[in-house]
Amino acid sequence: MTEFEKMRNQEFYDFTNSEGLTSYNRAKKICAKLQTMTTEDENYRDIIEQLIPNIPKSSTVAPPFYCDHGHGIHLGENVFINYYATMLDGGIITIGNNTIIGPNCQFLTPNHPINYIQRRKPIEKCLPITIGEDCWIGAGVTICPGVTIGNRCIIGAGSVVVKNIPDNCMAVGNPAKVIKNNLDVIDN
């Protein structure tokens, strides 16, 4: 198994491997192009599709935007990601249909060794992040490695999500805690 395959398979891998660095450098160059664009610019769609393959036409990522690879990001239909999102996509990041992401959110899949001697080595493992459908992730939210947020959830602004959140919940705080469930009631 290559180091890149180990990365995608949630195993410790050497992040200085040539395949990973090539992918990383490619994404950085594309992200740099995006920094001077708006979603209304003529070339925006071409550039974002180079970065995030198979991004649905109905989904939008507002620059500036930062990621490690781009091809580790899987977006559903009608996803909106606001300004200054950071997605460290060594692990797969999946965002379901009709989900909106506030500005300055971070999706962090890398996880470094706990042992300080091991942390001196250029190794990490990346755990996937999954966000369900019809979610609202407030401004400045940080989502940590391996977290799954269920369908129809709201994560309050500034929260740090370190554990899974079930469907139909509102979670806030650092660490984020569920403060309300059964959000499937329609507002009037």
Give per-residue pLDDT as tens, 114-155. Answer: 999 999 999 999 999 999 999 999 999 999 999 999 999 999
Angle, in degrees to the nearest 10, between helices 18-34 and 44-51? 160
Alpha-carbon distance of 75 to 79, in angstroms, equals: 7
pLDDT single digits (tens) 62-109: 999 999 999 999 999 999 999 999 999 999 999 999 999 999 999 999
Alpha-carbon distance of 106 to 142, in angstroms, equals: 5
pLDDT at 184 over 80: no
Q: Which among 130, 155, 150, 152 has a CA at the least distance from the CA of 140?
A: 155
User: Which has the higher per-residue pLDDT, 135 or 187?
Assistant: 135
pTM here is 0.96
pLDDT single digits (tens) 22-69: 999 999 999 999 999 999 999 999 999 999 999 999 999 999 999 999
Res. 186 pLDDT band, cuts 50 70 90: low
pLDDT single digits (tens) 167-176: 999 999 999 9
**pLDDT (0 to 100) of residue 183:** 77
Helix (H, G, I), strand (E, B) or coil at 24: helix
Residue with tokens 């755990």: 127
- Tell me which residues are annotated as active site: 112
H/E run at residue 106? strand 106-108
